[in-house]
Amino acid sequence: MSVLIYLCPQHRPKYARLSERAVLSQSPKTLILGHPEDNSFENVFDDGNAMETEYRLGHEGPSINFDDVAVTAIAKRVLAEASQRPQWAQTNVDTSRCNHRSLFSDDDGTDQESPSASLASNNKENVPPAVLAPSPSPPSPPLPPPSTPDVDNPTSTQWPSYTQLIYHQTNSGLDLGLSRQHYEVKLVVRRAINIITERVIFEDAFPSPANREVWIHCALVDAIKYVGEMSQGIARNRYQRLHARVIEESQYVSELSTMIKPRVPLLRNQIKSSAVNNAAKCYDLQNVGTDKIAGLLKDLKYIYPLSQNGTVQGYKPYENEAIVSTVREFVSHHSAIETSLHALKMLKPSVIALAATAVAAAIDEWRTGHRIVAPFTANIYDDIYNNHTALLAKIQAINEHGYSSLLRRLYYAALISRNSMSISPNTDSTLLDVANMPVDVED
């Protein structure tokens, strides 16, 4: 008995499953592999025995001779495998699933019929889980643009618009101008300027840079407090925000100070201008020689008044006409200083020392016989100012009552009389007609 089995042409590859079409031949011990219409096959089982080589139907494939038992077993096995193909070998596969699976997608072991399923199940407990590196977090979204701050909310983190400084273009670049600033800033800066002016006049006319910075910061804080206490309602909250910015931002204080710092030398130059005119008139600097000018500066002769015969009155220091007139003119331009002095009923030693230093600077400009204008700065006249302050302190230490009397006399001479220090009595006016003065008419 022979078994004849045909393979379709499209299933020719080696080890592929056999075609479902199988034909048993009548020739004993012969197994024909191939397709009835295909004569291009060679006998892959040919062992070189020509006697066993034969063809069926003239165009059948090569044959192999087996005994009956072997042929029957092979035929049954082939037919059984052809009718019971495993799940993974089925041809009817869902194409929608295949389109989403890779070539080796069954290697994960999830398919029980997959060749790698058993291997994956056996090694599942032995293989440690893969450690995945954490994916980088996405970048933070950009911050939203700053919103318009609540100008009347003192707890807002944004500085309100009225605290901003306004710059303007000048020939030397951008600059701050007090008149261009917001109303709240102008009030605070003007009050701070008044505070600085009082400290320069009453404490130190030539402060060091460090002291000046401290003065300005304290003046701004005090000015905000002063203006805020005078305000009501919403306006008071605005000065609270302005106060918070001054406390928190040193750069903001530095910018504000640019509108205050120039006031200090400006204040000194103002009193020096008065001293130049008063010294030239009192000492006749334009007509005296250089020796007399040097004599005025020697031993502080310029601070003493002269008697009618030209002798120095050493018991009246700082009562010279040039110093008194300079104090009078300077105080008349600063009502706040005048008010403070009126409350004291005496002149402050710092005011006297500043006026005396200004007079010394005015005389020194005529040292060569011609006036040469020099800046009234701390690096030149700071020592002279401190010398006058020390001299007044010495007078106080030696003669307390004489010192107090001196300050009161200077106060009355500069602020009360509004006239010269020495007033000569003159009751012999030729124009006076006392006899013909009118009298009141009785009712």
pLDDT recorded at residue 443: 46
Mean pLDDT of 275-297: 91
* Position with higher pLDDT, 333 vs 70: 333
| Confidence band of 334 (pLDDT split at 50, 70, 90) | confident
Mean pLDDT of 114-135: 54
CB atoms within 10 A of CB 179: 7
Task: Retrieve residue 161's tokens.
Answer: 């618009």
**Among residues 424, 204, 413, 203, which one has the least CA distance to residue 320?**
413
pLDDT recorded at residue 319: 93
- Whether the pLDDT of residue 97 is over 70: the answer is no
Rounded Cα gap, residues 62 and 41, in angstroms: 7
Mean pLDDT of 223-244: 88
CB atoms within 10 A of CB 356: 28
Kindly give the interhelix angle for 183-202 and 349-364, rounded to the nearest 10 degrees: 80
Mean pLDDT of 117-139: 55
Q: What percent of the chain has pLDDT over 70?
A: 60
- Whether the pLDDT of residue 7 is over 60: the answer is no
- Whether the pLDDT of residue 212 is over 50: the answer is yes
pTM of the model as a whole: 0.58
Which phi and psi (to 5°) does residue 396 adopt? -65, -40
The overall average pLDDT reported for the chain is 74
Mean pLDDT of 274-285: 93
Give the Å distances, CA to CA, from 417 to 34, 345, 412, 423.
Answer: 145, 13, 6, 10
Per residue in 60-70, pLDDT (tens digit) is 445 555 556 66
* Position with higher pLDDT, 264 vs 86: 264
Find the range with the poorest average confidence among 1-5, 220-224, 358-362, 398-402.
1-5
Task: Retrieve residue 156's tokens.
Answer: 């807002």
* Position with higher pLDDT, 442 vs 146: 442
Per residue in 349-382, pLDDT (tens digit) is 999 999 999 999 999 999 998 999 999 988 889 9
Q: Which amino acid is at 428?
A: D
Q: CB-based contacts of 106: which residues, under 8 Å, 6+ apart?
A: 88, 114, 115, 116, 117
Which phi and psi (to 5°) does residue 65 adopt? -95, 130
Strands 63-65 and 167-170: unpaired
pLDDT recorded at residue 244: 92
Instruction: Using CB atoms within 10 Å of the CB of residue 24, give its burial: 0 to 12 exposed, 13 to 18 middle, 19+ buried.
Output: middle
* Position with higher pLDDT, 142 vs 226: 226
Q: What percent of the chain has pLDDT over 90?
A: 38
pLDDT recorded at residue 155: 43
| Confidence band of 232 (pLDDT split at 50, 70, 90) | confident
pLDDT recorded at residue 434: 52
Mean pLDDT of 255-264: 92
Mean pLDDT of 256-278: 93
Rounded Cα gap, residues 185 and 202, in angstroms: 26
Find out whether 207 and 214 touch, Cβ atoms under 8 Å: no
pLDDT recorded at residue 321: 93
| Confidence band of 214 (pLDDT split at 50, 70, 90) | very high
| Confidence band of 37 (pLDDT split at 50, 70, 90) | very low
Rounded Cα gap, residues 415 and 409, in angstroms: 10
- Whether the pLDDT of residue 100 is over 60: the answer is no
pLDDT recorded at residue 42: 47
- Whether the pLDDT of residue 157 is over 60: the answer is no
Our CA dihedral for 112, 118, 123, 125, rounded to 10 degrees, sits at 50
pLDDT recorded at residue 87: 55
Rounded Cα gap, residues 286 and 280, in angstroms: 7
